[in-house]
Structure 1
Amino acid sequence: MINTELTFKDDSGGLLVIMPSAVNRLLDYRQIDSSSTEAAGVLIGERRGVHLVIHEISEPGKGDIRSRCFVDRRGEHHQAAIDEAFVRSSGKLQYLGEWHTHPEDRPSPSPKDLGTWRRHLVAQEQMALVIIGCCQIWAGKKIGNDIFPLLKI
């Protein structure tokens, strides 16, 4: 169990902070054994100026398509999690981006990941991207059509 947040930094000093409860939920989906399937969900949190703070995630469920090296986040429960968090927090918590797993120790975005994010993650504000590997976590930000890896600090 992780008791501290994970923090990543971009080249401009902007932070992506993942709170401990969200980190622990994400780590639960690591593809540690050979039969584990990829998992995906949304990142829910708050914007603090140039910083993003992840408080919650949506988790895989009904409607999602999952296999060893593929995931398609289709379940309606992901949007329901965003809507519920937004209402419960009086608008403070919102959709901040996407997460999914890879069955590798040190994950990085595949060409398919990059293309999907560029096509479907359209926003005026910066968005967070997280890939959970077996041993490490990759994090990035999407600003406009550009995707930038973040440095763990």
Structure 2
Amino acid sequence: MIDKELVFKAQDESLVVISTGVANTLLSYRQISNSSHESAGVLIGERRDVHIVIKNLSEPSRWDIRSRFKVDRVSKHHQKVVDNAFKNSNGTLQYLGEWHTHPEDVPNPSMTDYTSWHKNLKSELPLILIIAGRTHFWVGKKIQDKIEVLKQI
């Protein structure tokens, strides 16, 4: 369990802050056992100038397709979570990116991850990508067609 926010820094000095609640929810989906399936969802939060604060996320739904090494968010559940957060915050909270798990201690994106992100994530604004491993998080920032790995501070 994590008792403080996690902070990651980009090369341009911008910060990505992951709230304690979000970090702990991500930890709850770690693929600890050999039978654990991948999990995935979307990230929700605020843009504060060049900084990003992740305050919420969508969790897997029963309609998502999940296996040991693959996950596909097929339900409208995730979009509804974003829509409700946006509405209930008067537009303050918004979609910020995606998260999923990997069955490894220190996760790294696969070629499938990179291909999917480049094909499906289009935005003029930076998007955050998180992979929750068993012991560490991988956090990236996608700006246009470039993905930068962020450093935890």
Q: Name the TM-score, length of structure 2 as normaliser.
A: 0.98
Q: Which residue pairs with 2:10 in the alignment?
A: 10
Counterpart in the other structure of 1:39: 39
In structure 2, list runs of 5 or more residues that go unmatched.
Answer: none
Partner SS state of residue 90, structure 2: coil
What is the one-letter code of the residue matched to 1:135?
T
- Corresponding residue SS for 2:12: coil
Residue 31 (structure 2) pairs with residue 25 (structure 1):
no
Distance 1:145 1:62 in 2: 32
Corresponding residue of 1:67: 67
1:58 alignment partner in structure 2: 58
Percent of residue pairs identical: 53
Partner of 1:93: 93
Partner of 1:135: 135
Structure 2 CA distance, aligned partners of 1:26 and 1:105? Answer: 14
* Preserved contact between residue 43 and residue 99 of structure 1 (Cα < 8 Å): yes
Q: Whole-Å Cα distance in 2 between the matches of residues 43 and 137 of structure 1? A: 14
C-alpha RMSD over aligned residues: 0.6
Distance in 1 between residues matched to 2:68 and 2:56, nearest whole Å? 24
Q: CA deviation at 1:62?
A: 2.6
Deviations along 1:7-37, whole A, 9 cap, x unmatched? Answer: 1000000111000011111110000011100
Deviation at 1:2, TM superposition (A): 1.7
User: What residue is the counterpart of 1:145 in the other structure?
Assistant: 145
Structure 1 segments (4+ residues) deviating >4 Å: none
Name the counterpart of 1:116.
Answer: 116
Contact 1:14–1:50 (CA under 8 A) maintained in structure 2:
yes
